[in-house]
Amino acid sequence: MARISIFGIGYVGVVAAACLAQDGHDVIAVDVDQGKIDAINAAKSPIVEKGLGPLVKKVVEAGKLCATSDVEWAINNTEASFVCVGTPSAEDGSVGLIYVTSVCEAIGAALAKKDAFHSVIIRSTIVPGSCEGTCIPTLEAASGKVAGQGFGVGYYPEFLRESTAIEDYYDPGLIVFGSMDRPTESILTELNVSLDCKIHSVDLRTAEMVKYTSNTWRAVKVTFANEIGNIAKSCGLDGQTVMEILCSDLKVNISPYFMRPGFAFGGSCLPKDVRALRHLAKANGVDAQVLNAVLEANSAQITRAETMVEHSQARKVGMIGVSFKPGTDDMRESPLAELAGRLISSGIGVEIYDPFVFEAYSEANSTAGRGNDAVPDLQSRLVGDLDTLIASSDAIIVGNIYKETLPELNEAALTTPIIDLARLDRSKVSGGSYAGICW
């Protein structure tokens, strides 16, 4: 069992303190608000949350949880500290770190007087880079010690929902944490190992980003559902029924396939259907800000890829794939075809390796090149041999992944600039002559 101090007896702090104490850990809650301290020590919850009052009473009376304002005493009597203070928006909309910084200063001052190793684990919601840019420098300055050596550092975001916080604590949908040292990673693993959920142990910034991504994704889903509801209502339909049916499809609509960062969407369905629904909304007098943003952002991703090619200074590129996705010769509204057309218009030479489009032309199919309205002289730009394409190109644009091409492309990446829109290999990230669009 661990001995843990929790700084901030707010919503997250008190729930975490009570649940950790119930699990058998010795917990000290720390705050500057004497009213909250008195409430905890009187075996009462300082906030209203389903089931929390009886739980606080139980663990305080069992001697597993107490509260104090004495930072040094809390640090000296625990081996790890959770920072659970608020991060309200600053006036410019940025994350407000005033409370986090203040707590880190106080903890650092106490660590300066403590010989034993102590882990400081941030649970407050902070943007990527905050631990490295604010928390760690503050702790080091106040303690006179080096992070990762004199004390540990971790970031452990929470995903609790108000009114179901205790249930969420014991039945999480996501567990992720970052750490810069083994002792901190071990503590966080120990606290979560009994829960029925995969543990993601990552770097500090990734853990910070996951928290913001989770919260923003929820906001996007609410806004999207509301927009669909508004459009449905304008058609005399029940938007909640529409969304309930949509969410029943776990194969496509609730699929991780469409949650993979990469290039723009295209094809015969998505672009035209988003446009059509947007037009219907406009005709019915409904603003469709989300649908507008979807189309604008999709176009911007093509522009992003175009800019990457420009930065490579290649005058002739070889494109891997031109259809809207691998496994088909369908080029209807293919973002790769749009990219190829833009590059050609700018004076860049373009040759294309696409086995399915190539096959359609080779067999003289009447539908060869179907949907192409972006790439001039498409047939003459197709190359059937990948090695020939690579040898004649200043840079390679990977648009579609064809498994048989992976060995040659990974070898080519050693000597030829690669602009990767599909991700050849999860181990590759932008650097040197390799550029990934989202990684």
pLDDT in tens, 405-415: 999 999 999 99
Of 206, 176, 227, 424, nearest to 320 (Cα)? 424
Query: Residue 257: its pLDDT value, please?
Result: 85
Q: Known binder of ligand: residue 432?
A: no
User: For the segment 179-191, what is each residue's pLDDT rounded down to a tens digit?
Assistant: 999 999 999 999 9
Q: Known binder of ligand: residue 332?
A: yes
Q: Known binder of ligand: residue 87?
A: yes
Q: Known binder of ligand: residue 261?
A: yes
Q: Known binder of ligand: residue 304?
A: no
Query: Residue 101: its pLDDT value, please?
Result: 98
Q: Known binder of ligand: residue 378?
A: no
CATH number among 2.60.40.10, 3.40.50.1000, 3.20.20.80, 3.40.50.720, domain 3-202: 3.40.50.720
- Percent over 90 (pLDDT), the chain: 96
Average pLDDT of 299-314? 97
- Band of pLDDT at residue 255, cut at 50, 70 and 90: confident
pLDDT at 252 over 90: no
Cross-strand pairs, 299: none
- Band of pLDDT at residue 110, cut at 50, 70 and 90: very high
Cross-strand pairs, 363: none
Q: Known binder of ligand: residue 138?
A: no
Of 55, 54, 29, nearest to 41 (Cα)? 29
Quote the CA–CA distance of 68 and 28 in Å, as a whole number. Answer: 7
Q: Known binder of ligand: residue 251?
A: no
Quote the CA–CA distance of 311 and 307 in Å, as a whole number. Answer: 6
Quote the CA–CA distance of 259 and 278 in Å, as a whole number. Answer: 22
Which superfamily does CATH assign the domain made up of 297-436 to? Answer: NAD(P)-binding Rossmann-like Domain (3.40.50.720)
Q: Report the mean per-residue pLDDT for the chain.
A: 96
- Percent over 70 (pLDDT), the chain: 100
Integer angstrom CA distances of residue 350 from 180, 297, 309, 316: 45, 25, 11, 6
Cross-strand pairs, 67: 29
Q: Known binder of ligand: residue 161?
A: yes
Query: Residue 235: its pLDDT value, please?
Result: 97
Catalytic residues: 269
Q: Known binder of ligand: residue 262?
A: yes
User: For the segment 259-294, what is each residue's pLDDT rounded down to a tens digit?
Assistant: 899 999 999 999 999 999 999 999 999 999 999 999
Report domain extents, the chain.
3-202, 203-259, 297-436
- Band of pLDDT at residue 334, cut at 50, 70 and 90: very high
Average pLDDT of 363-381? 95
pLDDT at 253 over 90: no
User: For the segment 130-172, what is each residue's pLDDT rounded down to a tens digit?
Assistant: 999 999 999 999 999 999 999 999 999 999 999 999 999 999 9
